Chains A and B, each alone.
Chain A
Amino acid sequence: MTVNGRPVQAYAGESIAAALMAAGVRVFRCSEASGSPRSFFCGMGICFDCLVTIDGIPNQRSCMAEARDGCVVETNG
């Protein structure tokens, strides 16, 4: 898959959040109000902090989405 245009290796079926963390991506997005950095927090689809853009669709929970061959991920950091 690619992350912000960079090729990244991921295991099929692992979460996009895990693939990002394994690739050293730390800040997934910045908060709307203060712009503070956010990342993986609850890991189970509750907190909505780990939102990224997946295949052009914004605000996807990276902890709930599985990595697929060729998927295009953009962080919003």
Chain B
Amino acid sequence: MSDLVRARHEGTDYTMSRFWAKRLGAEIIQSPTLNADGTRRGPTSADSGRTAKPKTTVAKSAAAKTADSATTEEKN
């Protein structure tokens, strides 16, 4: 996996290939592509370095909330 790099794209750091970093215009940063246990490192926030939360929209959150409340009503 030596061809993978850590690249910063729209405020999030990703492990990706050099090809995609160049194509997306992402900045290649000096950071490990693997976790300490050897697994592939997932997206992290460029600011905090913590695991990045999945991006969502207001509409999507509302839909998820509606679906959740509907399931709760069915249980009741």
Mutual binders A and B? no
**Which A residues are within 8 Å of any B CB, using their own CB?**
none
**Which B residues are within 8 Å of any A CB, using their own CB?**
none
